[in-house]
Amino acid sequence: MTRDTLPPLHLLLALVVVAVWGTNFVVIKWGLADFPPLTFAALRFTFAVLPAVFFLRRPAVPWWNLALYGVLIGVGQFGMLYIAMTQWISPGLASLVVQVQAFFTIGLAMLIAGERVKPFQIAALLLAASGLGWLMIHTNAEVTPLGLGLVVIAALGWAGGNTTARAAGSVNMLSYVVWASVFSAPPLFALAFMFEGWPAISASIVHADAGAWAAVLWQSVGNTIFGYSVWAWLLARHPAATIAPLSLLVPVFGMGASAVLLHEPLTSWKLTAAVLVLGGLAINTLWPRLMQRRAAAA
């Protein structure tokens, strides 16, 4: 077995994680039926912190780094994503559009670290951007300009979080995410008080049924605790180039689960946009590995 080959059990674990991350967009939609978006996001990060923070050692990184990551991911990514998914974009399309964070991450690396963009990255970006443009042409009840814009902002928040985590160096990612979530919940609750109001917050908490609370816990335990810990475990045992491409399946699971569980139609224009965006992501992720293999075979 080569170093690049995943054992069947490890491949299964990776697929379970990307399935959890992809289908999570359906779970978000279910939770939003009972909780206002900012309240839902605040609860998500509250239970990501409690009780895990008492069992995981704080990573050896500056407090400002944890705080910045927590705000960017909590408010920037999930706050904006949840608001968008209330009524302005469907779960399947949200799972696709938010993946453009990969290109924002590259852009931030160029801006902050002085990294140079490569030709294949430009080609990948243009292809993915054409997919977003195709969605703009076909805006309707499933994807509005506001929804698309909010999810793009969420992708930028995710990219900012990636850049912040990269600056933290080599850390236990699960511990890092849990401790950073300490700084996610307070600003989300503050924004919820400002824009949703205490009556809406308290009513949603009091009247939420078991399914709604299961959606909150799935965000915290399934998506965060399980997902991040297993993904970090796999990355510690295999090259990133072997694991990272599997994340391309997240929107596949997202769109598939939305079609099956929420009856979201998979129209031709939507599939075309998915091919364009995923094609750009695939080029960005797989091209360096292909070139390395060609160089090794030469």
Q: What is the pLDDT of residues 89-129, one digit of tens each?
A: 999 999 999 989 888 888 888 888 777 878 888 888 899 88
160: phi then psi, degrees, rounded to nearest 5 = -60, -40
In a domain, 2, yes or no: no
Q: Which residue, 124, 115, 233, 96, is CA-closest to 163? A: 115
In a domain, 239, yes or no: yes
256-286 tens-digit pLDDT: 999 999 999 989 988 999 999 999 888 887 8
| Boundaries of domain holding 62 | 8-297
In a domain, 188, yes or no: yes
In a domain, 271, yes or no: yes
Which spans in the chain are helix H?
Answer: 8-32, 37-49, 63-71, 80-87, 91-97, 101-113, 119-137, 145-168, 173-180, 185-195, 198-207, 210-217, 227-235, 240-243, 250-261, 268-297
In a domain, 1, yes or no: no
What's the pTM value of the predicted model, to 2 decimals?
Answer: 0.89
In a domain, 192, yes or no: yes
In a domain, 152, yes or no: yes
Q: Which residue, 250, 259, 249, 246, is CA-closest to 21? A: 250
In a domain, 3, yes or no: no
Residue 63: both structure tokens together: 């407090």
Question: What CA–CA distance (Å, rounded) separates 99 from 248?
Answer: 9
Classify residue 100 by its DSSP letter. Answer: G
> What is the domain count for the chain?
1
